[in-house]
Structures are given as structure tokens and as C-alpha cells.
Amino acid sequence: MTKANALPIGVFDSGVGGLTVLRALRQRLPNEQFIYLGDTARLPYGTKSGDSVLRYSIQAAEFLVNQGIKYLVIACNTASSVAVEPLRERFAPMPVIGVIEPGSIAGCAASKSGHIAVLATEGTVRGGAYQRAIARLEPNAQVSAQACSLFVALAEEGWTDGAIAEAIAHRYVDELFRNDSQIDTLLLGCTHFPVLAAALRAVIGPAITIVDSAETTARAVQAELIDRGLLNTAGPVLGRMPECRGRTDAQDRPSAPILQATDSPERFARVGSRFLGESFDASRVELVDLAPTAAR
């Protein structure tokens, strides 16, 4: 195994939703070290122009690359729709992946009828990224896309199951199935949405396949690491946690994700714990500024 294998994987998102991707990555790749960057100072990306999102994505990616990473994961649907190819060109030969392509591949593979529903934010639906990706893979597929703006608020407030979540899910999903009764696959096209999977399952029943772009992205990352010979097979790297930096009594501990945010570590920790699937406090979150990177 080379030194490159031991380098961390960089993951960025506009906020905390991408922590569902990080969670899936950690479960599938327990030997890897991760650096997660949430650009919370400029969220949401979905309301910004494509040019602005591309600029933000380049700044976030450069910040991670400058820390020394072997792989870049764009854990944001909006950023994935505009930045994957530019970032691949900019940082070649380092591999770069977004969440849209893996999710679309898995959605096509799961659907027997060829009728696929995509649940996403308004910006992702309006941009048509999933529709285009699925059409490239399966030109005859029938894609129905539904913007589910309230799902983001539900997820961040922790109202992920029960009567309220299911009632709102009904309002979104029932319309899809009224328009296309042959839908057999539901693709979650927002990184916030996997935490609402239980509510969605209660609404759609057991026959419809739910495809989680977080899990499919993690599988794709694993496959590419193996293909490129970059998989860390030596076990987790020991390193200092962010809250231990500068302390002489800090103890090395098994690798945990390095968490960075561009604004409000307190909110990042409070809301992000739900998405990562484990509790952490603001001391675990390093406040960073992307401006120096942008200025170079």
C-alpha cells in the first residue's frame, strides 16, 4: 500500500445534508479517513445561479484538495449538476464523483417498468439533472420529478417520521402516482431525504423500490477506489480530532471524520447529528474560511 492509499477522502456540501453521504461512506469504507466541509455560510446552493454554484464548488474543492486528499465527493445535488466535469478537469487525475450519476444508475437498475419518480429540491427538479442522467442511461425511461421543498425543513427539524412527516409525504407522492401508476422506483434526489425513508415507506408501501443516492454514491466510491488501487487496506489512520488541536495532552484516537463548516458550528452540530447518525457537539466542528482559497 502506498502513501496515497492513506490519504483522506474529501466530501463537501452546501450544509449538513451531505452528512448522509458521509454516513454511508463511513459504513462502507471503515478504514478510510474523511474530511467533510459544509459551506454553511452560503447555503442553500439550490437558489443560486449555476455560475455562483460552480464558483462556490471550486472554492470548496480547492480547500479540501489543499489539505491533501485522494478522492473528492460532491455530496450536493445542485453542485453535482454543474460542477462534476469542471472539477474532474481541474483536479485530474484525482477522481471526483457527484451524487446524481450513481443515483441515476441505481434507479435505472432497480426499475423493471422503466417508470422512475425523482424526489428532489425545487432547484434540482427545475435544472433537470436527474432527468438528463436517466435519459442518457435509459432513453425510453419515463421520469416523473417532484419538488419536495418541505422535506428539507422536516429533516432539519428532526420530524422524520410519524403523522406530520407522512401527511406531507402523501401530498407530494400521491400526485406522482396519480399521474403515473406504473412507477416502481422512487429515487431520493436530495441528500436530506434519506432520513425520511421510513415516512416514505409508510406512504408508498412495500412494493416500490426506494433508491438512496447516498448509499449508491458510497458503493460507487468503493468500486473506484478498488479499481484505481487507492483503497486503504491498513486500517483507520490514527490522528488528532479537531477539538484536540493545539492541546499537549491530546490523545491519538481511531480515525473519525474531520468536520469543517464555513459558518455556525453550533447549528451544524445540532442539526448535523441527525444526518450523521451520531451525536457530536460544536467543539468537533472546525470553523473555516474559504476566502483565502478564492483569492489565490
CB burial class (10 A; 0-12, 13-18, 19+) of residue 195?
buried
Residue 78 assigned to a binding site: yes
Predicted confidence at residue 44, as pLDDT, reads 87
pLDDT by residue, tens only, the chain of 296 residues: 689 999 999 999 999 999 999 999 999 999 999 999 999 999 888 888 889 999 999 999 999 999 999 999 999 999 999 999 999 999 999 999 999 999 999 999 999 999 999 999 888 898 899 999 999 999 999 999 999 989 999 998 899 989 999 999 999 999 899 999 999 999 999 999 999 999 999 999 999 999 999 999 999 999 999 999 999 988 655 443 343 333 333 333 336 899 999 999 999 999 999 999 999 999 999 999 997 544 44
Supply the range of the domain harboring residue 109: 101-213
**pLDDT tens digits, one per residue of 139-196:** 999 999 999 989 999 998 899 989 999 999 999 999 899 999 999 999 999 999 999 9
- Choosing from 108, 148, 190, 244, the catalytic residue is 190
User: Do residues 222 and 204 both lie within one domain?
Assistant: no
Residue 45 assigned to a binding site: yes
Residue 170 assigned to a binding site: no
Distance CA 226, CA 214 (A): 19
Work out whether strand 96-98 and strand 71-74 pair parallel, antiparallel, or are unpaired: parallel
Helix (H, G, I), strand (E, B) or coil at 109: helix
Known catalytic membership, residue 190: yes
Residue 292 domain-assigned (yes or no): no
* Rounded (10°) angle between helices 213-228 and 100-110: 110
Residue 13 domain-assigned (yes or no): yes
User: Do residues 123 and 155 both lie within one domain?
Assistant: yes
User: Do residues 263 and 283 both lie within one domain?
Assistant: yes
In this prediction the pTM is 0.88
Residue 232 assigned to a binding site: no
Residue 77 assigned to a binding site: yes
Residue 117 domain-assigned (yes or no): yes
Predicted confidence at residue 241, as pLDDT, reads 38
- Report how many domains make up the chain: 2
User: Do residues 79 and 168 both lie within one domain?
Assistant: no
Single-letter residue type at 74: I
User: Do residues 72 and 126 both lie within one domain?
Assistant: no
The rounded percent of the chain whose pLDDT value lies above 90 is: 80
Scan for cell 447555503, then name that residue: 43
Which of 198, 213, 228 terminates a domain? The answer is 213
- Choosing from 76, 108, 148, 244, the catalytic residue is 76
Assign residue 184 the CATH number of its domain.
3.40.50.1860
Task: Give residue 61's Cα distance to chain centre.
Answer: 14
Known catalytic membership, residue 108: no
CB burial class (10 A; 0-12, 13-18, 19+) of residue 247?
exposed
